[in-house]
Chains A and B, each alone.
Chain A
């Protein structure tokens, strides 16, 4: 699954996700990507795109949950993403990760598996391009 999130110079946030699904999935199976609020979410606070075992992202309403934690609990983007990716998803049995950006240009790239193909340039111009854990 591929995806991107962005913040533009007008303060607008957007998210996009695209996938071929899972190898040998049942024909007709629908994953998290086209389920708005699961694999893809954007509002005035943050934008989120997810990759991983889609059924668990649907059950966790992962993208919307990250936004709700920011809005209602006052968490930072990093805290909200960590709560969903490192706590909620593993509790359900789900593996994968998200990329997210908030309205201030902060970026989060958490995952709970061995690695995630990822790249970013945050609001301060700091660039990241990595595959493995620890990079």
Chain B
């Protein structure tokens, strides 16, 4: 059987003219690391589920991407992360939402799928489950990036001067 993997790190208004060479190199390196993390699992005979979790963890740990460590801010200056996993062989699924302190939300989604009777857990209940499962928890500072914070300040300024929620610039929306 062939093995295959694909991943994304976000989409939007990504123009070559608006990104400097160093930033572009960093993004490409982050994508390459995440791809290798998952593909290595597959080459070693590991499961597709292990592979996608490995790739997504690599992206969650990279502050360049809007997930985990690089998450954007809500209107009230907090972070609310979400994640989901699905095992196609059993059509089993798990997801989590409203997380503020779980290092790798994707691993919590997997725990919900494999070790709870539910499909989705949210907010305090999800974080309580993460603690019971012994997942790595982090303080808010771990998830802070200046770039995301500045994006929030700019957006709040735009909204305060009469801007509409739906008109948020693409490059600011997803960090």
Contact between B47 and A14, CB atoms less than 8 A apart: yes
Q: Is A129 an interface residue (CB 8 A)?
A: yes
The residue on B at minimum CB distance from A108 is: B6
Within 8 A of B (CB), among A108-122: 108-109, 111, 113-122
The A contact surface, by secondary structure, is: strand
Contact between A107 and B4, CB atoms less than 8 A apart: yes
Chain B residues whose C-beta falls within 8 Å of the C-beta of A82 in the assembled complex: none
Query: What number of A-B contacts does a CB cutoff of 8 Å give?
Result: 344
Q: Is A60 an interface residue (CB 8 A)?
A: no
Interface size on A, residues (CB 8 A): 78
Q: Can you report 7 residue pairs joining A to B where beta carbons are below 8 Å apart?
A: A4-B38, A15-B86, A21-B74, A23-B168, A24-B156, A51-B11, A114-B13
- B interface residues (Cβ-Cβ under 8 A, vs A): 1-16, 19, 24, 27-28, 31-32, 34-35, 38-39, 42, 45-49, 51-53, 55-56, 59-60, 65-68, 70-76, 78-89, 91, 93, 95-98, 104-106, 109-110, 119-120, 122, 148, 151-152, 155-156, 159, 165, 168, 170, 172-175
- A interface residues (Cβ-Cβ under 8 A, vs B): 1-31, 33-36, 39-47, 49, 51-53, 95-101, 104-109, 111, 113-124, 127, 129, 131-132
